[in-house]
Amino acid sequence: KAGVTQTPRYLIKTRGQQVTLSCSPISGHRSVSWYQQTPGQGLQFLFEYFSETQRNKGNFPGRFSGRQFSNSRSEMNVSTLELGDSALYLCASGRDRGYNEQFFGPGTRLTVL
């Protein structure tokens, strides 16, 4: 069974631009969550999606948004990029919601210049 895939793996953008990251969960998994990892803040929760609905949102500005499609694939978008958005973005896949093990993708490393 294929694991969680994330594209692109690396991305370089400039301030003010916007970016879209993609995550495909493990086949049969319906839950996708997104995390941001920075050296200063560690791993921070961004969003949780289940059955195309955002179920939970972390403490991030409105520039960060996401969605989930009917095939459970998810995208997250960051608009008006700032230097502080440089981070590793990880997505996690879960079979259901609430009581299950989650599996992470390889991440997208975003650099904002």
Partner 1 sequence: GIQVEQSPPDLILQEGANSTLRCNFSDSVNNLQWFHQNPWGQLINLFYIPSGTKQNGRLSATTVATERYSLLYISSSQTTDSGVYFCAGTQGGSEKLVFGKGTKLTVNP
Q: Count CB atoms within 10 A of the CB of residue 15.
A: 11
The answer to whether 89 touches 9, Cβ cutoff 8 Å, is no
Contact between 107 and partner 1 by CB under 8 A: the answer reads yes
Which residue among 18, 51, 56, 80 contacts partner 1 (CB under 8 A)?
56
Site string for partner 1, 14-53 (x = CB under 8 A): -----------------x-x-x-x----xx-x--x-x---
- The H helix count followed by the E strand count for the chain is 0, 11
Contact window for partner 1 (CB under 8 A) among 11-19, 63-71, 77-85, 97-105 = 97-105
Q: Residue 75 or 79: which CB sits closer to partner 1? A: 75
Q: How far apart are CA 105 and CA 26, in angstroms?
A: 9
Q: Minimum Å distance from CB 60 to partner 1? A: 13
